[in-house]
Structure 1
């Protein structure tokens, strides 16, 4: 539920409603849900579980939701429903910016998980409904002052409130898309490894990570952002949602991230800076040697027509490399984006270009780039990645494809563009960039969250340096050793969109699942959460997903409509 009246009040004052992104969190997880725009509308539908993404704090809304819970309903909230606090023997402890949540053994993928906004409650009388607490929030740093529990559960009549202190949707959005629109240079790293204050506006100028707390170093001493915090918060929220559903004796089936037999994906892309055919030829030979396909982001003036023909014939994707770098005759301008894209279509004989990555990760504003992509039928973007050796890694908190959200001036709509961020580029090129010691941490972390390990290699450096060629070989070798499958950007985009069209309609008493839209998502898998006591049938696959036991069904074996 996103309360329309409360949202419009915020938009009137130019404030964001990133709570709307909870819809994307659920859709990305492959979960079916209904949407409501008021508490009364939601309660009249009698849902088993109500996610109150945004609720007004007026008396009527509070009363309607409280009564729903008293009758046996379960409400999930992320930093909201503050009028409930006094009724539950609690009070708002404060409104906080960034900090870290610690979950101990309850979540083992990170010692602490960065958040960007939180509204914890302080319990004054535990006898007024508090059932349990999980995790601790620390102000500003992983070892900062404790400011409250990360998660609290309260009994309300026959129902309950499950309340995260962290505004999870806001945290995910700003980790992925930045703290605010890019209008000025960012703050550089104190150790000199990330001089992003170069008077060139880029995606990383509003990175929400902390230079000191969120980086680790490889065995050779190179720093990297180590934690896809946005992916961690997704897992934490979804895990608690599924546990809540299962504890009610219900289930909530969801579509797996990847097709049957694939748990994580690796991706190689190239930017054609320099535009010499010899660069392309060397790259094609190396890709053939490695047996993979890649995405080629083309900057004007491009290669000879014969190169484009060969790239397409050998199964690679031709994509766009928009140049908005003033020093190289580029410009941040919608008409210029359109012009350069039209050049590529004509030069390479492409009726449609599916993917883009901006030259030098140039970026301005909030989501104007995505609007330009939408207008031109560019379905996927790869611009969000590092520009310096000191901020390689998961600097935007995710290694999953996702749909970005607009600013308040567009009422925080979702853009129809799949963002696929990248982790690094051109390893073992020079001391000014990272070495290949970062390959294993990136692969292992992407595998940990079933995401994409996306590496960028410029053709000019592949042709010019054997060390860069060896780094690409290492990526391919180590990725395959860990079960990664190599896809192009278009393949990721196509699968992501097809998977989103697949909807789980129902589960009958015998546990059979009915789905809709399975035609395009070949090989899709559905996971059905079950109780801890569930005894699988002979040959039935049961795995833990988001911390909850789930039985597995391939869509091919499921009744489709």
Structure 2
């Protein structure tokens, strides 16, 4: 059975031109979005390939802007193809009878109900088109964009132009740039960020950290719990991912083209939570109390160890009880650390040699962070496969401060050609309830994680678990509430291992019975645990034994493996 053929255009000459001037091409992040969604796709390196190969839909990551390129894209649509662009293809506006408006540097979009979450979604740049004359093609419009969450419309969110047998579909929002910007910032961290006016998020502390790249609005993007605790309430980047994937799947359903994709989690797991710890003061009694508390909770966790660490006998016990040992890189100059690769390597070698085993995870002390991709480069060089640094160090910044709870691969700056780092980021939501923020945030955090099926990651320091009964109780409360809501607790290492395994599975098609066909790159691929879906096509009748569920707002049927 033929499946939909989806391509992402990354025209090499267009990218090289941008790199010549030091410009980013964050549109390439479309590949990460589809890869994480488990959707099979092909990269298209030359614009003219879209006419030579029969793609059902192409996403524009990078395309030339000259007239001949626009004509090629137009002809592809005329022949029945679907073109999806994110605030791009401005050279076609005039031909269609439209003109671009003044760009919005940040604002909020409203999706129509059938396309996803209806709350205002923050974006970091947008450029809409307005009609100048009688359009050269039929145009449908959905949603709106505005400067503020409930502001006056500054244009449509999505426009669909019918060109011959196909369509050109233009999102006014630079969705890929928004996802990258929310997750990583819009520039390197070189100075303190702007603090909240209410004094709850004092980012101006003279210590560079992940939050200093914060791109959310202190006033618009936080909510208050019933106890008056402010927190960032919305996983915007994840919601944008969902909107894009939902759009693609809906268009393929309309074309009666099946799109098989892999589920985020393996069979028997629907929601994932994670507990991690930072050793900081390194008292042995902290470790013993934490082990006892975790045994009582019945979970395994990730232990981020800072030099000089615990007594040697404890590491064997920690790992023996099923927990993960990870690095807690300390670059705080006031504690003898430095922000450089040599110091990172020194601390990594210390931990590797101390625990006499492989170390694959890291979280930076104080969430220290500088520049753009240096940390990820250092992790790659040491073989560290996952990082957990991106989370709040200030109580007023708890929650989805980077717009995501998904595990994701971060993108490099233009000086590294916007490649993806081979380091899986698993950010955290809050520290040490109730000292950092109170327990009223637990349920709202879990509710939002459930909606996007990400990772509910809570940080509890071993020192505070030992010294504070209320922190021990909050950890147990977090586990209890999460379990009641169907969450499975994994370590960072387990999450990293599964995400890498599922991405090694390549969907190649469907057999004559409709079963999914896959190939894998490695023997230990975990395919027997993987779950696969596809949207139910129009007028399709399912058998009584076929499982179905909603994914990306679309009714999907679970697939058997061929």
One fold, TM greater than 0.5? yes
Partner of 2:269: 262
Q: 2:525 aligns with which of 520, 526, 530?
A: 520
Give distance in 2, aligned partners of 1:212 and 1:107.
Answer: 26
Give distance in 1, aligned partners of 2:221 and 2:434.
Answer: 23
Alignment of 1:480-491 (within 5 A): 480-491=483-494
Partner of 2:225: 218
Helix, strand or coil at the partner of 1:479 = helix
Helix, strand or coil at the partner of 2:168 = strand
Partner of 1:209: 216
Q: 2:151 aligns with which of 141, 144, 149?
A: 144
Q: 1:43 aligns with which of 51, 55, 61?
A: 51
Partner of 1:81: 89
Alignment of 1:452-463 (within 5 A): 452-463=455-466
Q: 2:376 aligns with which of 350, 370, 373?
A: 370
State whether residues 69 and 161 of structure 1, in contact with CA within 8 Å, keep that contact through their aligned partners in structure 2: yes
Partner of 2:499: 496
Measure how far apart 1:3 and its partner are.
1.6
Structure 1 stretches of at least 4 aligned residues deviating more than 3 Å after TM superposition: 106-110, 124-127
Helix, strand or coil at the partner of 1:515 = strand
Q: 2:431 aligns with which of 418, 425, 436?
A: 425
Measure how far apart 1:107 and its partner are.
5.0
Measure how far apart 1:163 and its partner are.
1.2
Helix, strand or coil at the partner of 2:62 = coil
Measure how far apart 1:411 and its partner are.
0.4
Give distance in 2, aligned partners of 1:54 and 1:149.
Answer: 23
Alignment of 1:49-88 (within 5 A): 49-88=57-96
Alignment gaps of 5+ in structure 1: none
Measure how far apart 1:223 and its partner are.
0.4
Give distance in 1, aligned partners of 2:463 and 2:35.
Answer: 39
The answer to whether 1:392 aligns with 2:395 is no
Give distance in 2, aligned partners of 1:173 and 1:558.
Answer: 34
Measure how far apart 1:507 and its partner are.
1.9
Partner of 1:244: 251
State whether residues 195 and 202 of structure 2, in contact with CA within 8 Å, keep that contact through their aligned partners in structure 1: yes
Measure how far apart 1:180 and its partner are.
1.0
User: What is the root-mean-square deviation in Å for CA atoms of aligned residues?
Assistant: 1.3
Alignment of 1:28-427 (within 5 A): 28-107=36-115, 109-125=117-133, 127-139=135-147, 141-350=148-357, 352-427=358-433
Measure how far apart 1:194 and its partner are.
0.2
Change in Cα spacing, 1:227 to 1:457, as seen in structure 2 (3 Å) is: same
Give distance in 2, aligned partners of 1:219 and 1:417.
Answer: 37
State whether residues 116 and 246 of structure 2, in contact with CA within 8 Å, keep that contact through their aligned partners in structure 1: no
Residue-pair matches, total: 551
Change in Cα spacing, 1:107 to 1:68, as seen in structure 2 (3 Å) is: closer
State whether residues 25 and 61 of structure 2, in contact with CA within 8 Å, keep that contact through their aligned partners in structure 1: no
Helix, strand or coil at the partner of 2:44 = coil
Give distance in 2, aligned partners of 1:43 and 1:223.
Answer: 52
Helix, strand or coil at the partner of 2:428 = coil
Helix, strand or coil at the partner of 2:61 = coil
State whether residues 425 and 457 of structure 1, in contact with CA within 8 Å, keep that contact through their aligned partners in structure 2: yes
After superposition, give the CA deviation of every residue in 1:215-273 in whole Å (9 maximum; x if it has no partner).
Answer: 00111000000000000000000000011111111011110000012111000000001
State whether residues 207 and 368 of structure 2, in contact with CA within 8 Å, keep that contact through their aligned partners in structure 1: yes
The answer to whether 1:543 aligns with 2:549 is yes
Helix, strand or coil at the partner of 2:326 = strand
Give distance in 2, aligned partners of 1:28 and 1:97.
Answer: 27
After superposition, give the CA deviation of every residue in 1:364-386 in whole Å (9 maximum; x if it has no partner).
Answer: 00011000000000000000000
Change in Cα spacing, 1:124 to 1:530, as seen in structure 2 (3 Å) is: farther
State whether residues 531 and 549 of structure 1, in contact with CA within 8 Å, keep that contact through their aligned partners in structure 2: no
Helix, strand or coil at the partner of 1:76 = strand
Measure how far apart 1:519 and its partner are.
4.8
Alignment of 1:427-442 (within 5 A): 427-429=433-435, 433-442=436-445
Give distance in 2, aligned partners of 1:311 and 1:109.
Answer: 41
Give distance in 2, aligned partners of 1:10 and 1:53.
Answer: 12
State whether residues 27 and 60 of structure 2, in contact with CA within 8 Å, keep that contact through their aligned partners in structure 1: no
Measure how far apart 1:509 and its partner are.
5.1
Alignment gaps of 5+ in structure 2: 1-8
Measure how far apart 1:125 and its partner are.
4.3
State whether residues 116 and 242 of structure 2, in contact with CA within 8 Å, keep that contact through their aligned partners in structure 1: no
State whether residues 386 and 423 of structure 1, in contact with CA within 8 Å, keep that contact through their aligned partners in structure 2: yes
After superposition, give the CA deviation of every residue in 1:65-111 in whole Å (9 maximum; x if it has no partner).
Answer: 11111111111111111122122221112222110001253356352
State whether residues 104 and 111 of structure 1, in contact with CA within 8 Å, keep that contact through their aligned partners in structure 2: no
The answer to whether 1:25 aligns with 2:30 is no
After superposition, give the CA deviation of every residue in 1:305-353 in whole Å (9 maximum; x if it has no partner).
Answer: 1110100110000000000011111110100000011011112222x21
After superposition, give the CA deviation of every residue in 1:396-417 in whole Å (9 maximum; x if it has no partner).
Answer: 1100000000000000000000
Helix, strand or coil at the partner of 1:39 = coil
